[in-house]
Structures are given as structure tokens and as C-alpha cells.
Amino acid sequence: MNKYVFLVEDELLISLEIEMLLSELNIKSHGPFSSCQAALAALANIDAHSIDCAILDVKLTDGEALPLARVFHKHGIPIIFSSGHANNHHLETYYPPGKYIAKPFDPTVMKNTIALSVDKL
């Protein structure tokens, strides 16, 4: 059974890299979505149970990704926050079992974190 990751990242280059990592892990992805708006719209058409993990860039083109985080948290989907801001560490405690990865990230760390989060289910 294929694992799905819901990817929200406004920087296309970075989402490209993550997609590469995902394909290495043999995980499929929804996205990438560069805005909160687009992500929410897409989410409406996806069965939440199919999503094993969400990777959220905190700052998106249309604001912060917190509304998205709430939705995922509601459905019990683990969230990996990735952000360039130094002060967003608290997010992983707000939405357990969330993880926080500071940008620029180590691809290995990202890869392991995704693998761990997906395996948890």
C-alpha cells in the first residue's frame, strides 16, 4: 500500500528536492501546494485517511499555514513543520506528534523524519 505525504511548500525548488527524497522513500505525495488556499481546496477532494504525513512550510504566499495544521491535527495526521524562522519550534509541541525542521534542512534528517512519521501509522 502506497504511503501519501501532503506537501505544502511555496518554494518550488525546495518542494522538488523533497519530492526527490519522497520518491527515494517510495512515498507518493499530494502537492506541492504553494498557498494555504490551494492546499485547503485540494484537501477537500482527498480522503484524509489516505494521508500519512503532512509537510508544511510555515510561511506561505498567502500567510501562515496554521489553518492547515489544525485540519491535519484534527485528523491525527503527523505534521512536519519546516521553516526558516527561528522562533517556530513551539509548533511541534502545539500539534503533537509534530516535528520541526529548520530551513535550510539536512536532506538526511528530512528523509529520516518523513520515514519515521509515515511509519508511525
Binding stretches for other proteins (CB under 8 A) = 11-14, 16-17, 20, 34, 59, 61, 84-86, 102-105, 107
Between residues 12 and 121, which has the closer beta carbon with respect to other proteins?
Answer: 12
Please enumerate in sequence order all residues whose Cβ is within 8 A of that of 107, keeping only pairs 6 or more positions apart, or say none: 17, 21
Largest CA distance in the chain: 37
Please enumerate in sequence order all residues whose Cβ is within 8 A of that of 111, keeping only pairs 6 or more positions apart, or say none: 21, 24, 25
Place of cell 527561528: 86
Between residues 40 and 102, which has the closer beta carbon with respect to other proteins?
Answer: 102
Minimum distance between the CB of residue 87 and other proteins, rounded to whole angstroms? 9
Between residues 23 and 50, which has the closer beta carbon with respect to other proteins?
Answer: 23
Could you give the angle at which helices 66-74 and 36-43 cross, rounded to 10 degrees? 20
Minimum distance between the CB of residue 73 and other proteins, rounded to whole angstroms? 25
Minimum distance between the CB of residue 96 and other proteins, rounded to whole angstroms? 25
